[in-house]
A and B are shown apart, each in its own frame.
Chain A
């Protein structure tokens, strides 16, 4: 099956700082998403990004499918950005989603 790695595993940022989270995967995928899991456990869908670049406010993501990695950029971080960020992927919509191990982000004031 697909192997997914995320780095760094843990990250502490001062409020206002920028960061880049990385996701590497071992096989080609048709569907890739980035999620933010908030302190209550809810998965917030940040991006559906099997390839290319997307931006949404302070967040942006880039996936280079041919090189099997994806990056999530967080700019001007806020304390509400704290939580765990997962990259997740699946072959088709009726396949299971495989999650990476996550990056735990803490943004301190």
Chain B
């Protein structure tokens, strides 16, 4: 199957700082990647769709200026949480569109704690 790698797996940052999370498709090219967020005891919800070479599209209620997404290559998308606050503490996970294989492939996820 296809491999999606996400880094870091865990990060603790101070309130007001920015954190960058990387999502890589290791053995395939992905024109589209997806970023999901999961709050404690809840399901996973889509935040934004990352499109290579163009602007990301954000779900309703997700601040695009706070969650910056860059998809500069066919194997890498990054999510930057800017001016992080404790309420941004969550589990963030990405997936990549394989196109050929219709299964959804997910990264390992990143647990962000803002103190």
Contact = CB atoms under 8 A, between A and B. Distances in A.
Contact of A101 (B32, B43, B97): B43
B103 A45 contact: yes
Contacts of B106: 35, 43, 45
Contacts of A41: 38, 91, 93, 108-109, 111
Given A93-B97, A94-B97, A100 B103 contact: no
Contacts of A92: 102
Contacts of A70: none
Interface in A5-38: 30-31, 33, 35
Interface in A29-56: 30-31, 33, 35, 41-43, 45, 48
Contact-residue size bin, chain B (C-beta under 8 Å from the other chain): 20 to 34
A30 B77 CA distance: 26
Nearest to A97: B104
Q: Name the residue among B43, B45, B111 with the largest chain A CB count within 10 angstroms.
A: B43
Contact of A86 (B44, B95, B97): B44
A99 B97 CA distance: 16
Interface residues of A, number: 21
Interface string B35-52: 010100001111001000
Interface of B: 1, 31-32, 34, 36, 38, 43-46, 49, 91, 93, 95, 97-99, 101-106, 108-109, 111
Contacts of B103: 31, 33, 45, 48
Given A41-B91, A96-B49, A102-B43, A33 B104 contact: yes
Interface of A: 30-31, 33, 35, 41-43, 45, 48, 86, 88, 90, 92-94, 96-97, 99-102
